[in-house]
Structures are given as structure tokens and as C-alpha cells.
A and B are shown apart, each in its own frame.
Chain A
Amino acid sequence: MATTRAVLTPLSAEFPSSAFAALMTVNARPVLAFDAATDETAQWTFVAPQGMTGTLTAVLSLIGAAASTNPTYWDVSVEAITTADATDLDSADSFDSINSGSVAMGATQGYMVQLSITLTNKDSIAAGDYVRVRVTRDANNGSDTFAGDAYLLAVEIREA
């Protein structure tokens, strides 16, 4: 049975110093708006819960700013820091390689779609680690043809 390990929402997002997704509301729902022309990023921090050992999947819940089934393309990467890791958190990031996936957006504007991306590259995450998850819309990827903002409603980190 799958287990939810983290729920990441727009209001708990953190942002890089540039090229970040815009926090806004759609019908009073907080969303992160990811641009169609520029790669934009948001990230979240949590502590890996006890018992987490299996395959992880990031499930992105999305709506689009247009009625179109053209796809959006997403990258998810994980940074997992264990005590005494040789990573200078003052000045460095340590994200593992990206995990990617694409999803056809809703034919009706406002209808939600979900994208599951298996986190094959998960930085050897272990229970108790200090973890960051980074989500980027890879807008300049040739497979991302959706001509509008993509609104990220939430991300679930799910363990198989």
C-alpha cells in the first residue's frame, strides 16, 4: 500500500533568488504559476519521516491557464543531507540528478491533471535526513508545448 510521506503546498514553498514560480491564487486557491517561456523553480524543505525506505514518487497536481491538452514537462530533484555530510549548507546545494516527466494538460481549463514522477535519483535519502525537493517546469524542453502558465496546486511525495 502506498504511503504519503510529505505534502508540499504553494504556501509552504521556498524560492530561489531568480527564475522562481509566482505564488498567486486561482479562484482563491493558492497556486504556483510556472511560466511557459522560462524555466522556473520552487522548492520545499522537510525532514524525511521515520520508516521511509522504499521507492518514492512525486505526484504533481496541476491545472493550466488554457484549455489545451498540449503537455507540460517537469523536473523534480532531491537533496538529502545526513548528519556530518560533506556539504556546506552555508554556500552550496547538493541536489541529485533530475527526475523528469510530462503530462497532457486538461482539455477543459481548470480540470486538474496529475503527473507521477518516480524519484529514481533521490540522493540516497534516509529517514531523518534534512531534505529539499526542487520542482522546475522545463519550459524550454521540446516536449513542453503548452502555451500558458501551469499552476501547481500541490505535490505529494509518495512511497510505494
Chain B
Amino acid sequence: MAILSDAQRREAWAEMMRLGGVSIAKADLRAAFDAIDDWLDANASTINTTIPQPARSGLTTPQKALLLALVIRRRYDVGA
């Protein structure tokens, strides 16, 4: 998956600020968002190799991205 563009990062950053409850400064929140996106980009191949076969070769890249998103979403939902 490609790294997000500046506009896409900005959109997501603004979305999180609209949810409310963020007590840190805007620039610090944006830096955190950028760092996570950069890390995902740098570690995409590691994440891919973590997926066992036959899922690694049987799932498309968008499906693997969705899988990662769902894992993170579920961990968020249960407060992990």
C-alpha cells in the first residue's frame, strides 16, 4: 500500500480532531500521525511476511490492508 499523500494525512488528522478529546497540540498530533504512516510504509514488507501461507499469497494487497485495519480496529474497540 502506498504511503498517504499530504492531503490524505491532513484529512485524517482533521477527522481525528473533530472527534474531540485530544489534549495535545495540533502539530504534535500530526507528527504522530505522520510517524505511524511512515512506519507502516517502512515495515510493509515485514508485516507481509508475518502473514502465514497460504493467506500471504492468497490475499490481495487491499485484502491484507483491510485485515490489518480490522485487527487494529478490533484492538481499539476492546481497549487494547
Q: Which residues of A are in contact with B by a Cβ distance under 8 Å? A: 35-38, 65-68, 70, 109, 144-149
Chain A residue nearest in CB terms to B23: A68
**DSSP majority for the A interface?**
loop
Chain B residue nearest in CB terms to A67: B23
Q: Which residues of B are in contact with A by a Cβ distance under 8 Å? A: 10, 13-14, 17-18, 20-29
Contacts of B13 in A (CB 8 A): 37
Contacts of A109 in B (CB 8 A): 21
The reply to whether B27 and A66 form a contact with Cβ atoms under 8 Å apart is no
Contacts of B28 in A (CB 8 A): 147
The reply to whether B18 and A147 form a contact with Cβ atoms under 8 Å apart is no
18 more contacts with CB within 8 A, not counting A35-B18, A144-B26, A148-B20, are: A35-B17, A37-B13, A37-B17, A65-B20, A66-B20, A67-B23, A68-B23, A68-B25, A70-B26, A109-B21, A145-B27, A147-B22, A147-B23, A147-B28, A147-B29, A148-B21, A149-B17, A149-B20
